């Protein structure tokens, strides 16, 4: 494998990692906002696929 190809793979990985982190933070903020509006936890679980414990942590600010 050429070094140029390796560098390109590393660059693409970094971009995807950054996009993932931004998306994760955006989702957490939306979960907090939705919970603050009174949406039931079970409905947030269904919408996100997260567990109830994950939702509790996000809403409590223990997870970002």
Residues 34-58 have pLDDT tens digits of 999 999 999 999 999 999 999 999 9
Q: How many domains does the chain have?
A: 1
Show the domain range for 36: 3-60
Question: CA quadruple 34, 38, 41, 43: dihedral positive or negative?
Answer: negative
**pLDDT over 90 percentage in the chain:** 92
Mean residue pLDDT of the chain comes to 95
Q: What is the CA radius of gyration of the chain?
A: 17
The reported pTM is 0.82
Confidence of residue 63 (pLDDT cuts 50, 70, 90): confident
């Amino acid at each position: 494998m050429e070094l140029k190809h390796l560098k390109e793979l590393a660059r693409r990985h970094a971009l995807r990692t950054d996009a993932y982190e931004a998306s994760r933070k955006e989702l957490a903020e939306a979960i907090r906002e939705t919970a603050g509006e009174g949406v039931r936890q079970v409905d947030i679980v269904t919408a996100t696929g997260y567990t109830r414990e994950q939702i509790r942590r996000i809403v409590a600010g223990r997870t970002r």
